[in-house]
Structure 1
Amino acid sequence: MGSSDQPASAATATRRSYDSTLRRSQAEQTRAQILEAATRLFAERGWSVGVREIAAEAGVSFETVYAKFGSKTRLFLTAFDVAVVGDDRPVALAQRPEFAALSAGDRRERAAAGAALAADIYARTAGLYRALREGASFDPELASRLVEAYRRQRSDVRAAGEAVAGRTLATDEAEGLWAVISTEVYDLLVNNAGWSHTRYRNWIADATVRLLGPD
């Protein structure tokens, strides 16, 4: 009798494993839908967008959003972090292949790679930075994250500039480059002056070469 029970037990275990895998997949899909909706609405409407609006956009309940993220602030910060690097993997920007490309080729090629990276990041995050600055006026956690976001951005731009230049940058060079390659400048040129993504990217590449000098 014991041996005849084994196939049924194995089938039950397989079914449980399948059900568990399916639930995880569905949970990940729901989380991704919420983040996509939150990213789009925060970028378009700013910090004032409500969780109920995000839930409706994602096609889930209000309670599901809170169950997944705990609060509007945590939802926003998760969306912001994902938008900066482009995915949900816990890998810092400076450790990604796109960053490694800044050390390949001559200075113009490296500057072009840096400009492409910056343009892609700001295309995803410019609206979220506006929402973060707005929310920082009301929420201490967002205010703290804004300071941290600028600190990290400043550090990343310096590291990128040094990879492009192939040398250590002076403080004025690094901070001047950070000022030029900033979210606010992207917002002014692309979202206000109407520049195309390509025009902005080419301008940043030229500006980087001018600031850092030729090879």
Structure 2
Amino acid sequence: MLDTAIRMFSERGWSVGVREIAAEAGVSFETVYAKFGSKTRLFLTAFDVAVVGDDQPVPLVDRSGFTAMSAGDRRERAAAGAALAAEIYGRTTGLYRALREGASSDTELAAKLAEAYRRQRSDVRTAGEAVAGRTLTDDEAEGLWAVISTEVYDLLVNNAGWSQSRYRDWLADTTLRLLGPA
């Protein structure tokens, strides 16, 4: 059910119905509601699973892709961060679009969007400091957060037609430029 929900919310946005998701997943509408209770809860569960790539209760900052930003030289750390961002946004950009759509009319989704941006902002600062090997200024952290955003990924990959590898290379180089000399 969750894989189907992730795919359908990503492709069709917040407007996709639970009945459509249930039919596509080969389960009854009642089964979905018994497990999740509402469309909002189904979406929020799907979103959380998509961000980290599985349903294990391990925070992103404790996962190997994140901790890889603390190993190697600055270029290797920046490349690890860019690879992680590309991987996550490849799974979640459509869900972020759906979340922004739904947040305009659902207070629980609006709260999730605010929390997702807060967490993303914090994670980007932590990642940037791992890559830089030092504490970032607020301007550096905020600028990095803006560049390493789902919106920029969406513009470059889904709208401008960049490949994942072009995006990863650009993001690693841009990160290094934003952080300045070692």
TM-score normalised per structure 1: 0.84
Q: What is the rounded CA distance, in whole Å, between the counterparts of 1:208 and 1:137 in structure 2? A: 32
Question: Contact 1:107 / 1:214 at 8 angstroms: preserved in 2?
Answer: no
Task: Choose between structure 1 and 2 for higher RCO, CA contacts under 8 A separated by at least 6 residues.
Answer: 2
| Structural mapping, 1:145-160, within 5 Å | 145-160=112-127
Is the aligned partner of 1:167 residue 2:139?
A: no
Amino acid at match of 1:171: D
Q: 2:87 aligns with which of 102, 120, 126?
A: 120
Residue in 1 aligned with 2:46?
79
Question: Contact 1:46 / 1:134 at 8 angstroms: preserved in 2?
Answer: yes
Q: What is the rounded CA distance, in whole Å, between the counterparts of 1:118 and 1:154 in structure 2? A: 13
Residue in 2 aligned with 1:47?
14
| Structural mapping, 1:200-211, within 5 Å | 200-211=167-178
| 2:8 counterpart SS class | helix
Flag structure 2 segments of 5+ consecutive residues without an equivalent.
Answer: none
Sequence identity (%): 82
Flag structure 1 segments of 5+ consecutive residues without an equivalent.
Answer: 1-33
Question: Contact 1:111 / 1:209 at 8 angstroms: preserved in 2?
Answer: yes
Say which one has the larger Rg.
Answer: 1
Q: What is the rounded CA distance, in whole Å, between the counterparts of 1:59 and 1:207 in structure 2? A: 44
| Structural mapping, 1:1-215, within 5 Å | 34-215=1-182
TM-score normalised per structure 2: 0.99
Question: Contact 1:154 / 1:178 at 8 angstroms: preserved in 2?
Answer: yes
Q: What is the rounded CA distance, in whole Å, between the counterparts of 1:103 and 1:191 in structure 2? A: 29
1:151-185: CA deviation from partner (whole Å, max 9, x where unpaired): 00000000000000011000000000000000000
Aligned pair count reads: 182
Post-superposition shift, 1:98? 1.1
Amino acid at match of 1:139: D
Question: Contact 1:102 / 1:163 at 8 angstroms: preserved in 2?
Answer: yes
